[in-house]
Structure 1
Amino acid sequence: MAGLISEFLEFLKEYKVVALAVAFIMGVAATSLVKSLVDNIIMPFVGVLVPSGDWKEATFNLGPVHLGIGPFAAECINFIVIAFVVFIIAKYVMKEEKVQKK
Protein backbone atom coordinates (compact mmCIF):
# COMPACT_ATOMS: atom_id res chain seq x y z
CA MET A 1 0.00 0.00 0.00
CA ALA A 2 2.87 2.39 0.77
CA GLY A 3 4.27 1.76 -2.73
CA LEU A 4 0.95 2.74 -4.30
CA ILE A 5 0.80 5.97 -2.28
CA SER A 6 4.38 6.83 -3.15
CA GLU A 7 3.64 6.12 -6.83
CA PHE A 8 0.59 8.37 -6.63
CA LEU A 9 2.60 11.21 -5.05
CA GLU A 10 5.25 10.81 -7.75
CA PHE A 11 2.51 11.02 -10.38
CA LEU A 12 1.24 14.27 -8.84
CA LYS A 13 4.75 15.74 -8.89
CA GLU A 14 5.73 14.51 -12.35
CA TYR A 15 2.62 15.78 -14.10
CA LYS A 16 2.34 18.90 -11.93
CA VAL A 17 -1.29 18.12 -11.14
CA VAL A 18 -1.47 20.56 -8.22
CA ALA A 19 -0.10 23.44 -10.34
CA LEU A 20 -2.58 22.56 -13.07
CA ALA A 21 -5.43 22.53 -10.55
CA VAL A 22 -4.40 25.93 -9.20
CA ALA A 23 -4.18 27.34 -12.75
CA PHE A 24 -7.63 25.95 -13.56
CA ILE A 25 -9.17 27.44 -10.42
CA MET A 26 -7.55 30.81 -11.12
CA GLY A 27 -8.82 30.64 -14.71
CA VAL A 28 -12.35 29.99 -13.53
CA ALA A 29 -12.10 32.86 -11.06
CA ALA A 30 -10.71 35.22 -13.71
CA THR A 31 -13.48 34.31 -16.16
CA SER A 32 -16.09 36.37 -14.33
CA LEU A 33 -13.70 39.31 -14.09
CA VAL A 34 -12.89 39.29 -17.81
CA LYS A 35 -16.55 38.71 -18.74
CA SER A 36 -17.59 41.69 -16.61
CA LEU A 37 -14.92 43.86 -18.24
CA VAL A 38 -16.14 42.88 -21.69
CA ASP A 39 -19.87 43.12 -20.94
CA ASN A 40 -19.81 46.33 -18.92
CA ILE A 41 -16.87 48.32 -20.31
CA ILE A 42 -16.09 47.21 -23.87
CA MET A 43 -19.39 46.00 -25.36
CA PRO A 44 -21.24 49.30 -24.74
CA PHE A 45 -18.77 50.92 -27.18
CA VAL A 46 -19.44 48.14 -29.71
CA GLY A 47 -23.18 48.70 -29.25
CA VAL A 48 -22.77 52.40 -30.13
CA LEU A 49 -20.83 51.54 -33.30
CA VAL A 50 -23.55 49.19 -34.57
CA PRO A 51 -26.46 51.14 -36.12
CA SER A 52 -29.37 49.27 -34.54
CA GLY A 53 -29.76 48.40 -30.89
CA ASP A 54 -31.62 45.20 -31.80
CA TRP A 55 -28.75 43.61 -33.69
CA LYS A 56 -28.41 40.89 -31.02
CA GLU A 57 -31.97 39.77 -31.77
CA ALA A 58 -31.65 39.61 -35.59
CA THR A 59 -32.83 36.45 -37.30
CA PHE A 60 -32.72 35.17 -40.85
CA ASN A 61 -35.63 33.08 -42.03
CA LEU A 62 -35.31 30.31 -44.60
CA GLY A 63 -38.84 29.01 -44.85
CA PRO A 64 -39.63 27.26 -41.57
CA VAL A 65 -36.02 27.57 -40.36
CA HIS A 66 -35.13 30.60 -38.19
CA LEU A 67 -31.40 31.26 -37.93
CA GLY A 68 -30.26 33.42 -35.00
CA ILE A 69 -27.70 35.53 -36.86
CA GLY A 70 -27.72 38.30 -34.22
CA PRO A 71 -27.02 36.11 -31.20
CA PHE A 72 -24.30 34.27 -33.11
CA ALA A 73 -22.67 37.55 -34.21
CA ALA A 74 -22.87 38.84 -30.63
CA GLU A 75 -21.12 35.72 -29.31
CA CYS A 76 -18.45 35.97 -32.03
CA ILE A 77 -17.74 39.59 -31.11
CA ASN A 78 -17.78 38.67 -27.43
CA PHE A 79 -15.28 35.85 -28.05
CA ILE A 80 -12.93 38.06 -30.06
CA VAL A 81 -12.99 40.80 -27.43
CA ILE A 82 -12.47 38.33 -24.55
CA ALA A 83 -9.62 36.62 -26.42
CA PHE A 84 -7.97 39.99 -27.06
CA VAL A 85 -8.36 41.08 -23.42
CA VAL A 86 -6.88 37.78 -22.20
CA PHE A 87 -4.01 38.20 -24.69
CA ILE A 88 -3.26 41.71 -23.40
CA ILE A 89 -3.44 40.58 -19.76
CA ALA A 90 -1.20 37.55 -20.41
CA LYS A 91 1.29 39.67 -22.35
CA TYR A 92 1.43 42.22 -19.52
CA VAL A 93 1.65 39.64 -16.72
CA MET A 94 4.15 37.29 -18.35
CA LYS A 95 6.57 39.83 -19.83
CA GLU A 96 8.77 36.96 -20.98
CA GLU A 97 10.67 36.71 -24.21
CA LYS A 98 9.54 34.04 -26.59
CA VAL A 99 11.54 30.84 -26.46
CA GLN A 100 13.63 30.42 -29.57
CA LYS A 101 14.15 27.10 -31.32
CA LYS A 102 17.54 25.50 -30.84
Structure 2
Amino acid sequence: MDVSLIQMTLISEFLDFLKEYKVVALAIAFIMGVAATALVKSFVDNLIMPFVSVITPSGDWKEAVLAIGPVQLGIGPFAAECINFIIIALVVFMVAKYVMKEEKVEKK
Protein backbone atom coordinates (compact mmCIF):
# COMPACT_ATOMS: atom_id res chain seq x y z
CA MET A 1 0.00 0.00 0.00
CA ASP A 2 1.28 3.45 -0.89
CA VAL A 3 2.25 5.77 2.00
CA SER A 4 0.25 8.68 0.59
CA LEU A 5 -2.84 6.45 0.36
CA ILE A 6 -2.43 5.49 4.02
CA GLN A 7 -2.09 9.16 4.97
CA MET A 8 -5.19 10.10 2.96
CA THR A 9 -7.16 7.27 4.58
CA LEU A 10 -6.02 8.36 8.03
CA ILE A 11 -6.92 12.00 7.32
CA SER A 12 -10.30 10.95 5.93
CA GLU A 13 -11.03 8.82 9.01
CA PHE A 14 -9.97 11.68 11.28
CA LEU A 15 -12.27 14.14 9.48
CA ASP A 16 -15.12 11.64 9.73
CA PHE A 17 -14.43 11.33 13.45
CA LEU A 18 -14.55 15.13 13.86
CA LYS A 19 -17.88 15.31 12.00
CA GLU A 20 -19.52 12.27 13.60
CA TYR A 21 -18.74 13.22 17.19
CA LYS A 22 -19.14 16.98 16.57
CA VAL A 23 -15.75 17.70 18.09
CA VAL A 24 -15.55 21.20 16.62
CA ALA A 25 -18.94 22.15 18.11
CA LEU A 26 -17.82 20.72 21.44
CA ALA A 27 -14.61 22.76 21.32
CA ILE A 28 -16.58 25.92 20.56
CA ALA A 29 -18.97 25.17 23.42
CA PHE A 30 -16.02 24.63 25.77
CA ILE A 31 -14.44 27.95 24.78
CA MET A 32 -17.77 29.76 25.23
CA GLY A 33 -18.19 28.06 28.61
CA VAL A 34 -14.79 29.29 29.76
CA ALA A 35 -15.62 32.82 28.63
CA ALA A 36 -19.03 32.70 30.33
CA THR A 37 -17.44 31.40 33.52
CA ALA A 38 -14.98 34.30 33.56
CA LEU A 39 -17.85 36.74 33.01
CA VAL A 40 -19.97 35.27 35.80
CA LYS A 41 -16.98 35.10 38.16
CA SER A 42 -16.30 38.78 37.52
CA PHE A 43 -19.98 39.57 38.11
CA VAL A 44 -19.96 37.72 41.43
CA ASP A 45 -16.59 39.08 42.60
CA ASN A 46 -17.17 42.69 41.58
CA LEU A 47 -20.91 43.26 41.91
CA ILE A 48 -22.35 40.75 44.39
CA MET A 49 -19.53 40.13 46.85
CA PRO A 50 -19.07 43.79 47.86
CA PHE A 51 -22.64 43.71 49.20
CA VAL A 52 -22.03 40.41 51.00
CA SER A 53 -18.80 41.80 52.49
CA VAL A 54 -20.73 44.72 54.00
CA ILE A 55 -23.20 42.34 55.65
CA THR A 56 -20.58 40.04 57.18
CA PRO A 57 -18.99 41.12 60.45
CA SER A 58 -15.34 41.05 59.39
CA GLY A 59 -16.01 42.08 55.79
CA ASP A 60 -13.34 39.76 54.40
CA TRP A 61 -15.35 36.56 54.36
CA LYS A 62 -13.69 35.18 51.21
CA GLU A 63 -10.50 34.69 53.21
CA ALA A 64 -12.26 32.98 56.15
CA VAL A 65 -10.44 29.92 57.47
CA LEU A 66 -11.65 27.39 60.01
CA ALA A 67 -8.73 26.07 62.06
CA ILE A 68 -9.12 22.59 63.49
CA GLY A 69 -5.83 21.92 65.20
CA PRO A 70 -3.10 22.00 62.55
CA VAL A 71 -5.67 21.74 59.72
CA GLN A 72 -6.78 24.96 57.99
CA LEU A 73 -10.09 24.65 56.13
CA GLY A 74 -10.71 27.47 53.64
CA ILE A 75 -14.45 27.90 54.10
CA GLY A 76 -14.49 31.41 52.61
CA PRO A 77 -13.02 30.49 49.21
CA PHE A 78 -15.27 27.41 49.11
CA ALA A 79 -18.37 29.51 49.81
CA ALA A 80 -17.38 31.96 47.05
CA GLU A 81 -16.97 29.11 44.54
CA CYS A 82 -20.36 27.68 45.59
CA ILE A 83 -21.98 31.04 44.86
CA ASN A 84 -20.18 31.17 41.49
CA PHE A 85 -21.39 27.65 40.68
CA ILE A 86 -25.00 28.42 41.58
CA ILE A 87 -25.03 31.54 39.40
CA ILE A 88 -23.36 29.72 36.47
CA ALA A 89 -25.84 26.84 36.79
CA LEU A 90 -28.73 29.33 36.79
CA VAL A 91 -27.38 31.08 33.69
CA VAL A 92 -26.90 27.75 31.87
CA PHE A 93 -30.44 26.72 32.85
CA MET A 94 -31.89 29.99 31.54
CA VAL A 95 -29.97 29.71 28.26
CA ALA A 96 -31.06 26.07 27.82
CA LYS A 97 -34.65 27.03 28.57
CA TYR A 98 -34.53 29.86 26.01
CA VAL A 99 -32.74 27.85 23.31
CA MET A 100 -34.87 24.75 23.69
CA LYS A 101 -38.09 26.83 23.94
CA GLU A 102 -39.68 24.22 26.15
CA GLU A 103 -41.89 24.84 29.12
CA LYS A 104 -39.87 22.41 31.19
CA VAL A 105 -36.28 21.24 30.75
CA GLU A 106 -36.54 17.49 31.14
CA LYS A 107 -33.91 14.88 31.87
CA LYS A 108 -33.45 12.61 28.89
Q: TM-score, normalised by structure 1?
A: 0.71
How large is the RMSD of aligned CA atoms in angstroms? 2.6
Match of 1:96 among 93, 101, 105: 101
Match of 2:69 among 60, 63, 68: 63
The percentage of aligned residue pairs carrying the same residue is 71
- Contact preservation (8 Å) 1:58, 1:71: yes
Number of aligned residue pairs: 100
Unaligned 5+ segments in structure 2 are: 1-5
- Contact preservation (8 Å) 1:34, 1:86: no
Unaligned 5+ segments in structure 1 are: none
| CA distance 1:99–1:87, shift in 2 (3 Å) | closer
What is the CA-CA distance between 1:13 and the residue it aligns to? 1.0
What is the CA-CA distance between 1:53 and the residue it aligns to? 0.2
Q: TM-score, normalised by structure 2?
A: 0.68
Match of 1:9 among 8, 15, 27: 15
2:88 paired residue number: 82
Which structure would you say has the larger Rg? 2
Match of 1:40 among 31, 42, 46: 46
